[in-house]
Structure 1
Amino acid sequence: MTRYLITGAGGMLGQDLQQALLGRAVTALTRAELDISDGSAVGAAVEGHDVVINAAAYTKVDDAETDEATARRVNAQGAEMLARAAVQSGARLVHVSTDYVFDGTATTPYAEDTPTHPVSAYGRTKAEGEAFVRSVAPHSSYIVRGAWLYGAGGPNFAKTMLRLAASHDTVSVVTDQVGQPTWTGDLARQIVALLDADAPAGVYHGTNSGQASWFEFTKAIFAEAGLDPERVLPTDSSAFVRPAPRPAYSVLGHDGWAAAGIAPMRDWRDALHAAAAAGVLTA
């Protein structure tokens, strides 16, 4: 019997991972229950498990610009501790990463083997975490990069837009940032499929297919929620100056799935429709 450990189990992806693994032997530890940067605690938690899925992360992108040390402790040091413990226990490791490891200047989808080039503190710490995983557990680890995540179990862009819709006649959303809206329910199931297939170790891009701007994504959210999409107005990034730079282009390629014999994740529009039907799109 395969025994699974989920770190960051209280987060949006962590909750959906528990659902995707329902009926299996799962230990789910929240951030409060396991500090992944504590080597001794991590070693004790990993022992006895066959698979470790690291969904724990410091994700406060703007705060990381002035507190990179804290972000690094979780995103880089934590990844290293988990990789070392997994190797010692003979467990496979799935490490969840992000599109922020890229600079966003590409014009075609980023391949899995594109060199990382982060432009924010958050991105730097996540890239460091990836490097630790590749170095410590090159033959027994999967790095799965997500992007533009939304789901039922935590704060996210979709919920923010619906909350604004309840209090504003219109919302202005940028058209000059393009990526892949990704339902954490789909990502969780894709991670389980990756493990069940005993796929080769390496990097996989865990995003729904297709692409959209935040503006297009928001119009689709409104439509699925039964709201008038014309209430969504276009603007550009100059209207929203934030401490951390955002990648302008966050479209990730999916060749890794085909090479492993696994179907890539469905189009983001189909995923959004299914998420709405599942009651995910609530403020």
Structure 2
Amino acid sequence: MSIPRVLTIAGSAAQGSAGIQADLKTFEELDVYGMSVITAIVANNSTTEKGIFTNSLEAIEAQFYASFEHVGIDALKTGMLFTKDIIERTAELIKQADVPHVVVDPVMIGKMGSQLLKDDAIDTLVDTLFPLSTVITPNLHEAIRLTGKTKIETVEDMKEAARELYKLGPAYILIKGGTLHEGAVDVLYDGKDYKEFRTERIDTIHTSGAGCSYSAAIASGLAKGKSMTDAVYEAKDFVTCGIKHALSFNRGIGSTYHGAWRTCGGRNP
């Protein structure tokens, strides 16, 4: 039996809603074989902040080779990388492995307000990983930071930002507009054409892990041989379903519910 193989390089979120945990849940629900490289242990939640504990470059490299050499990689996604050194080493590993599909989620700030990418690492992310990426998936806040804009408030603003980000080297740009005034609209740009992905806006604060899951779902689709458009369609439906059935736990910001995909039946809910 063969199965598409997807690797996530990201932080481990102790509370289970985001990071490596969200990625592996997404992989399982979308029927791909998930593997992980843990860059850091994140022990934050919405009621307390214990800190971020980074892994050594040696440990990161060992995890990568354990996955690549023993299983193989059809697609890869990156999440929280945190430091310049980790970003640079991750880029080197991706080049060596010649991974066919690379999804870069430029994680900067967590739902709990934690800084998940050091300020001095942003340029390194742009210079070393963006040119290797099949697609980058910034949300509006990240797109603003990456482009230097003061605001992105409309779909036209998103398209303009996508054009600027495309110049940085990715094959595709996907800007996520979940907080856009016009509704939950995402914009995909390939250097020529734009594609809009629209779903209902769900009135909830319980969206922890949504961005991680979105990029993991895109990587899953690409590993299965889907086109970029079809991979994003499925990922958008998957995340929307998870937010619609989010878990609150009655404290702080709750989690996207990955298991809801089985209830939604793979359709836009």
**Same fold by TM-score, threshold 0.5 exceeded?**
no
> Normalising by structure 1, what TM-score?
0.42
Tell which has more relative contact order, 1 or 2 (C-alpha 8 A, sep 6+). 1
Normalization by structure 2: what TM-score? 0.43
